[in-house]
Amino acid sequence: MEVKRVDEQLELVGELANTADENRTLPPVYAVLQDAEGKTLRHWVVEVDATVLGPGEKVPFTTKIDSVPDGTANVSVLFTNPAQNP
């Protein structure tokens, strides 16, 4: 994943890949900003242009936010809802 920051805007650019030998349904994808202690400062759902990936298939994603919270130290992309897994 590539992280780009211009002024207060943050853009995440990456790719999801199916490395299995069968079709896989994509779960919801979340972007998460955390402080240095691991506290979630902000999270959101990343829009992906696929719901199922075949074997070896890949799908790109891009997501942006206009304002990065003060204290942001880490950026992650998860397949689980951070609000349900603090």
The pLDDT of residue 72 is 93
Q: CATH no. for residue 8? A: 2.60.40.3230
Per residue in 41-55, pLDDT (tens digit) is 999 999 999 999 999
| 29-86 pLDDT per residue, tens | 999 999 999 999 999 999 999 999 999 999 999 999 999 999 999 999 998 888 777 5
Judge whether 43 lies within some domain. yes
Query: Global pTM?
Result: 0.84
When divided into structural domains, the chain yields a total of: 1
Tell me, yes or no, whether 83 lies in a domain: no
22 inside domain: yes
Q: Are 2 and 10 within 8 A, CB to CB?
A: no
Question: What domain range is 62 assigned to?
Answer: 2-78
Q: What does the buried/exposed string (b/e) look like for 2-22 if buried means 16 or more CB atoms within 10 Å of the residue's CB?
A: eeeeeeeebebebebebeeee
- The whole-number pLDDT of residue 86 equals 59
Would 84 be classed as within a structural domain?
no
Domain membership flag for residue 56: yes
